[in-house]
Structures are given as structure tokens and as C-alpha cells.
Structure 1
């Protein structure tokens, strides 16, 4: 076995272009499994991973939390058509991610794909930049979800106490309390699959209860189709209705973000090359069904759109509940269901961001990586990485104290950083003309089309999601997302040249070859079959 591995390593060093290696069944029987070396257990099933994936993306819940941005940019029709547009784009994003994770299942996700696909002399830099964007994107997402959750709590209090004057520090304090509460749920590995499944069931049940309650509570008094599908209300101050609509797309885009979350669970599930793609695609499908039906039930039942636009609680959906049911207690209860779903989403956010921090630290991508790259043997989770990332999230939350407008930058930032991190490996995939050894999930020309859509979407997000949400733009209403994007990229480049290029490591070629053998032989090993004479065409990039 050692001789076979040595021959593979030497061959990879001597001949990196069009290398063909005959792999025997004996060498395949000892293929590399990352989970055997990282201390994590394969305790996640399809449903628990779906709980992480959809529990985090949670489209209908995201629409509820950020509806104020969408409804002021065009009214009901903007959100309805926005969901359709973003769901279609997200399907292409999901296909692109699914193809890559099927070919290269790894907890590092997009930064590992970049490492494998990029030219060897550029792999380290682009892998580092990709990992940096992905990790900081997860930090921004965790913060924005936490602030949305805290805003919801304040809104419920204000519903029963109309004289309550909400301050930014109220939201901040509640955010910190809930943040560290959700932190606890991710401290023990044995809990995580159960919590993930509960999160999935909770959000689906909550969606079902609210949707049925809205339709039943309206007592047959519905808005006209013209109001729901045609009437456009531009409250942004933009003279162009098209720009107002585009700016409002941030709402559904945020609600379909974080599609990579399941990829970072690849080392904790059996057959990740099959299960993870199914989870990603299912996340988009369930997200569209739940969010589209949810907003239809809301908008056909709404009574007074002006009251929603002028809502001062920060959670206008609760006003819709109250209008339909004419009962504050019932409205608060339905809001509590949304909050429970969002709380589960926040738990999955922590699962996601700690896995990213830990996996990126394994390659020394973060300062102090030697501490964050360890898996705690008692808890079974990367506890140090979890603590470190959670502290960063708590610190980013202080931005909200300075300006509530900063929340919009957090929302936009999590979209921008994550989409950029998806685009980097896709660019290198297209440079290789998609001529790679793929996994069981591979859609050929449909995959190529999806890759192109993803890259176009990335450019769209970079440009239009940097526009102010309202006009005229002032210091308090300016969109600072572009500043955040430039700052994060600048940090990555500066850190790379100061320290990163000296400490950021890529696994050695023998381990890479072992990983590749694992990818292509996993299914056959599970069936007990042999793969005599398997040709592995390894490009010069590996």
C-alpha cells in the first residue's frame, strides 16, 4: 500500500499534465477519508443536513424578516416577482454548487474547489481569497440574522406597548443575549443533527400554520389580483421604477442566500457526493414553494398597505397579521412562530460559520489558525473555532449601535461576499472547459448555463446592490455595502502579502491524490466492487 501511494505521489510530481494512473483495488481500499482525520463523526443524515441547509436559508422566514426593504421598493408585486426571479437564479447557483461539491466533497467547500481547479501557481492565492470571502460572509450572515431576530422581539413588545420608543441599544442588547444563547446549541456534536431536524420541522410547520391562518382569517375578503400582481408602489425616492425594483431584490436575494451551507457538512455525512447536491437543490425548491405561497396568502389578505409602509416596529409582517386577524395576541403568536423559525435559522448559522472557520483554519487561512483548527474531543465540535467566530459576530454587532443603516450593509455584504466566493471556483471550472472528473451530480450543458448565470448574477450584485435603498442618499441612508466589500477584499490582499502567502498551506500532493481516489471510488467501495484499471486524468492544476 505504501509503495502504491508513493508511486502516485512521485507520478504527480513528475507529470502534472494529462497524468493517467492505474489504480488497483487494494490501493482504493485505503482511500483517504477526511472525516477519519479531522475528529468529526458522520452523524448527519439527509434530513438533518437539509435541516442545516433549508433551516439556514429559510426563504419564507427571510422574506418576513426583511420585507420592509422589498415592500417599499415596489409593493406586493415586487416581492412576488422578485421571489420568482431570485428562485430561478438560485436554481442555477444551486446546480453550480452541487456539481462542484459532488466532484470535490470537502468541509472547506468553495475555497477547496478553488484550490483544486485553479492553476497551480495561482491556487494558493485564489483559494485564500475565496475562503476569506466565504468565512466573512458567514459572519455577516450570522450577525444580520441575529439582528433581525432581536428586531422581531422588540416589535412584539411594541405591539402590546404602543408608547414604547425603540432604541438601537434595545435591539443590540437582545441581539447579544440571543446570539450567545444560540452559541450554546452548537457546543455539543451529539445535539446538532437533532436540532437541525427540529429546525426543519419547526419552520415548515410554522409556514403551514401561518399560511392557513391568514387565508382563514380573511373570511373571504381578498385583495384584487391587480393589487397583488400589477400595482407598483415606489416609496424609495428613485425616479426610475426599474432601479427601485432592482434595489428591492435585496429582500428575496437575502432569503435565498447561504446555499453553500450544506457543503460544509460534507465530512459529517455518508455519501456526501450524492446527498449534499440533493440537499442544496431541495433547499431552493422548498424555499420557493414556501416563500411564494406565504407571500400570496399575506398580500391577498392585506387590508391597508399604507399602514404597512409606515410601520415603525421594524417588522411590518406583524402588522399584516394584526390587520387580518384583528387580534394583537394572535398576531404576536404568529410572529412568535416566525421568531422560532428564525431562532432555528440562527442555530444553523452558528453551525455553518464555525465549520467554515475550522476548515479554513486547517490551511492556516485565519490568524491563530493553530487554535481554531482543532476539534474538541469531549464535545466533538471545533469548539475553539466556534468561540472565535462567535466573538467576531458579537463584535460586528456593535456596528448596529453606530447606525441602524449598517444593518443593510450587513444584509448586502452577506449576499455579495458569498456570491463572490461561489464565482471564483466557477471561473476556474470554466477555464478548464468543465473538463474535470465529475461526481454523480453533473448536468452537462445545463450546468454550463448555470455557471454563466452565476457569474452574470455576481456582476449584477456587485453593481446594483451597492445602490442606496432610498433617495436622496444621506449619511444615514447611504448603502455602505461597497465600502464593506472593498474593505474585506483589501484585508485579504494585505494579509496575504504580509503573512498569508508564508503560512497558508495546501495539502501535499499525495494527500490530494488520495482525496481524488476517494471521490471517484466511494460509491464502488460501498457496493464492495473493485475498480481495476481506473484512469484518473489529473490536470496540471492539481
Structure 2
């Protein structure tokens, strides 16, 4: 039962349906509290992870006000501002659930579609450019098998992205309609307008490569001094 509570997110629901009079069984209450503690314990790790992803993107100059969010606190030696930005976004995003569960579920489904697209778009570009454009690497799928894997990945994502936009039931209603396609297009337009409006289409040159990682060469020191230009590294924040 303990393992079941970890691997199955709706374990408490199934147990409550299969146990006679679950309201009087302390095991169900125990599992509910346990699941809550498990979920709560994962929140700090998730926020720290998203904070570092935000910092990495700001370090590369991909965010508005990148020099500010790419700072690393000299006291804590962590990207405080990027972590706070990610935390604030998660808090405001959670407020959507209070206003409308349909809007919240649609946003979650759209995030899944965007995650799929982030995996497939590089492979789609690779299909267009050819695998000969890849650098030398230790793990190589080969031209034939690698192309097949890239094609199947792109086809899989395209197929399931379309399925994610279908309504949940037929006939549907305003409250039961699937708005993933609407939210996805609106999010793309918003991101594109912010990207071009902030001039990132001209200033962003790609991720910072610390050492020639693709060639298997050990990377050198992370920071040469207290301040490095955003195109080569990140800023050290001495205000903390």
C-alpha cells in the first residue's frame, strides 16, 4: 500500500471506492495525509529546478531584463531573482484554478503540447537540414536509423498534438469544450510578440557553451571574474 501510494496519484480515490465505509478507516486518512506530504515535499525541488532553468535562459540573454535575472547572489550562491520569478509565476498560475477549472486544465494540457513540441522541433529541423550537420559525437544513431527515429518522433508528436485538441465528448458544451488549440495559439502569439518586441530575435544567439561539451572536452572554469558579459557567462550579484 505504501508503494501504491507513491506510484499511483489517485491511490486514495481507488482505496476509498474499494473499502467498505472508508470514512471510518484510519488507513484512508493516513494515505491522504501521506500523499499530501509527498506532494508538498516535491514543491521546493520543482521551484529550484525551474529557477535554475529560468536563470540559464536569462544568462543566455533570452529573457527580458536578462542581466537582472541572470545575477547570482554572492551570499547564497544561487540565482535568487530567477527563483523568485519562477515562484511568483507558479503562484499566479495557481490562481487560475480558483477562477476556472476549465481554464486551468486547458493550460496544463497546452503545456504538455508545448513540451512535446520542444522535443520534436529540433528533430524536425534536423530532418530538413540533414544529419550531416551534426558535429562529431560519442553516441551516433547513424544516418539511416537516426533519420527514422527523428521522423517517427515528429510524426508521433504531430499526431498526439492533434488528439489533445479534440473535445472530451460529443456533443460538447461551452464548459466541456477543449480549448487547448485556442490557448496554444494565443500563447504562441504572446510569446512571439514579446520576443520580437524585446528585440530578442536580433540579440539572442543561442545557449552559452561552457567548454566544447559536444566534442567531449572537459569544460574550463565557470567564471573568470566577478562580472562576465551575458554572451559569455553571468553576473555576480554583490547586493546580497
Deviations along 1:324-353, whole A, 9 cap, x unmatched?
454532122223333333334433321332
Q: What is the aligned partner in structure 1 of residue 178 from structure 2?
A: 479
Secondary structure at 2:198's aligned position in 1? helix
Output aligned runs, 1:453-464, within 5 Å: 453-464=152-163
For the structure 1 residues 378 and 325, does the alpha-carbon distance in structure 2 shift closer, same or farther, using more than 3 Å as the test?
farther
Which of residues 214, 217, 220 is equivalent to 1:519?
214
Could you say which structure has the higher helix fraction?
1
State the distance in 1 between where 2:81 and 2:157 align: 33
1:363–1:504 Cα contact (<8 Å) kept: no
SS of match in other structure, 2:161 = helix
* Contact kept in structure 1, 2:73 and 2:79, CA below 8 Å: yes
Change (3 A) 1:463 1:316: same
Change over 3 Å in CA distance of 1:460–1:343 after alignment to 2: farther
Match of 2:28 among 326, 331, 346: 331
TM-score normalised per structure 1: 0.36
Compared CA separation, residues 452 and 335, structure 1 to 2 (3 A) = farther
Where do residues 196-345 of structure 1 align in structure 2 (5 Å cutoff)? 209-211=2-4, 317-326=11-20, 327=22, 328-345=25-42
> How big is the alpha-carbon RMSD for the aligned residues of Structure 1 and Structure 2?
3.0
Name stretches of at least 5 consecutive residues in structure 2 with no aligned partner.
Answer: 221-240
Give the drift of 1:451.
2.0
Residue in 2 aligned with 1:529? Answer: none
**Higher RCO (CA 8 Å, separation ≥ 6 residues):** 1
Residues 448 and 381 (structure 1), Cα distance of their counterparts in 2 relative to 1, 3 Å cut: farther
- CA deviations on 1:227-283 (whole Å, 9 max, x unpaired) are xxxxxxxxxxxxxxxxxxxxxxxxxxxxxxxxxxxxxxxxxxxxxxxxxxxxxxxxx
**2:167 touches 2:178 (CA, 8 Å); kept in 1?**
yes
The alpha-carbon deviation at position 507 of structure 1 amounts to 6.3
8 Å Cα contact 2:124/2:151 also seen in 1: no
Relative to the length of structure 2, the TM-score reads: 0.74
Does the alignment pair 1:395 with 2:188?
no
Please report how far the alpha carbon of residue 356 of structure 1 lies from its aligned counterpart in structure 2 after TM superposition: 2.0
- Structure 1 position 515, deviation (Å): 3.6
For residues 48 and 202 of structure 2, the distance between their equivalents in structure 1, rounded to whole angstroms, comes to 26
1:178-202 deviation line (CA, Å, top 9, x unaligned): xxxxxxxxxxxxxxxxxxxxxxxxx
Partners in 2 of 1:387 and 1:478 — Cα distance?
A: 34
Q: 1:372 maps to which residue?
A: 69
Separation in 1, partners of 2:58, 2:112: 23
Deviations 1:478-522 (A, max 9, x none): 2222122111110122223322346633269xx76x743x43243
Indicate which of 135, 153, 156 corresponds to 1:437.
135
Q: Which residue of 2 aligns with 1:416?
A: 113
Structure 1 SS opposite 2:217: helix
Structure 1 residues not aligned, in runs of 5+: 1-207, 214-289, 295-314, 526-542
By how many angstroms is 1:415 displaced?
0.6
Given that 1:322 and 1:330 are in contact with CA atoms closer than 8 Å, whether structure 2 keeps it comes out as no
Q: Identify the match of residue 452 of structure 1 among 140, 151, 154.
A: 151
d(CA) in 2 for partners of 1:419 and 1:482? 14
Asked if the contact 2:72/2:79 (under 8 Å) is kept, the reply is yes
**CA distance 1:498–1:322, change in 2 (3 Å):** closer
Displacement of 1:370: 1.7
Distance 1:443 1:348, change over 3 A: farther
SS at match of 1:506: coil
1:506 partnered with 2:205:
yes
Would you say the 8 A contact 1:354–1:385 is kept in 2?
yes
